[in-house]
Amino acid sequence: MKNDLILANVAKHITLDQDEVHYFTSLLKYREVEKGASLLKEEDVCTTLSYVHSGALRAYYLGKYGKESTIMFAIADWWVTDMYCFLNCLPAMTYIEAIEESYICQLSKEHFDQLLAEVPKFERFFRILMQNAYTREQLRIIQNLSQSAEERYRNFLQKYPLIAQQVTQKQIASYLGITPEFLSSIRKNLN
């Protein structure tokens, strides 16, 4: 059944009884996003948290002169949103688009708050989710500060081999903070 994936994801950290499963799943809304479509545009108020059931999404920031900076990729079994804006009910700073046809499962901010109030176990679940996100971002910062572009690229390939297959080099370059041209030259000199 379609909820199996997300329930397995939740079960990694907390154990729900039948009622809680029903309540939780009743709050979810499934949605298909076709390749290239936007889930979130800058200045839309970001009202949903999404779990990726299948497909691949990319969150990016659009800077001056149209320069894109990829914040994260989200493939199957990842959660994605503009977290800051979601939590604070603010207009988004980022864009989220489908890299390929995706099937996602959304929780609105309203339902998110209700869920935490009704089933406090989810405080634990989201604590762990946030924890993992925090430590992941911190590691990324350390690497951005301490490693060369080539090392960062090697690292990316090693850490996210699945993602590396699903996205373009241009997108990887914007995740690493370099130009596609430079990534191309790094690849040429790799071996």
The residue within the footprint of a copy of itself, chosen from 15, 66, 145, 191 (CB under 8 A), is 145
Report if residue 187 touches a copy of itself, rule: CB under 8 A: no
**Under the criterion CB under 8 A, does residue 83 sit at the interface with a copy of itself?**
yes
CB nearer DNA, residue 20 or residue 150: 150
Q: Give percent helix, percent strand, percent coil of the chain, each to the nearest 5.
A: 50, 25, 25
Which 164-183 residues touch DNA, going by CB under 7 A? 168-171, 177-183
Nearer to a copy of itself (CB atom), residue 2 or residue 177? 177
Residue with tokens 């889930």, as numbered in its chain: 39
Beta carbons within 8 Å of 117's beta carbon, 6+ residues apart: none
By the rule CB under 7 A, 99 interacts with DNA: no
* Nearest-angstrom CA–CA distance, 157 and 49: 27
The dihedral through the CA atoms of 128, 126, 131, 69 has a sign that is: positive
Task: Report the nearest approach of DNA to the CB of residue 102 (Å).
Answer: 14
Selection from DNA, a copy of itself, none that 103 binds (CB < 5 to 8 A by kind) is none
Calpha distance 75→52 (Å, rounded):
6
Contacts of 75 (CB under 8 A, 6+ apart): 52, 55, 56, 57, 162, 163, 166
Query: Shortest Cβ distance from residue 152 to DNA (Å)?
Result: 8
User: Nearer Cβ to a copy of itself, position 2 or 168?
Assistant: 168
For DNA, which residue of 5, 149, 157, 164 counts as binding (CB under 7 A)? 149
- The angle subtended at Cα 56 by Cα 52 and Cα 62, nearest 5°, is 105
148 binds, among a copy of itself, DNA, none (CB under 5 to 8 A by kind): DNA
Please identify, using beta-carbon distances, which residue of 154 and 170 lies nearer to DNA: 170
List 4's β-bridge partners, or say none.
none
Backbone angles phi, psi at 189, to 5 degrees: -95, 10
Judge whether 94 and 42 are in contact, CB under 8 Å.
yes
Of the two residues 33 and 49, which places its CB atom closer to a copy of itself in the complex?
A: 49
Q: What is the contact surface with a copy of itself in residues (CB under 8 A)?
A: 61, 63-64, 67, 69-71, 83-84, 87, 93-94, 116, 120, 123-124, 126-127, 130-131, 133-135, 137-142, 144-147, 174, 177
Binding site residues, DNA, CB under 7 A: 67, 148-150, 168-171, 177-185, 187-188
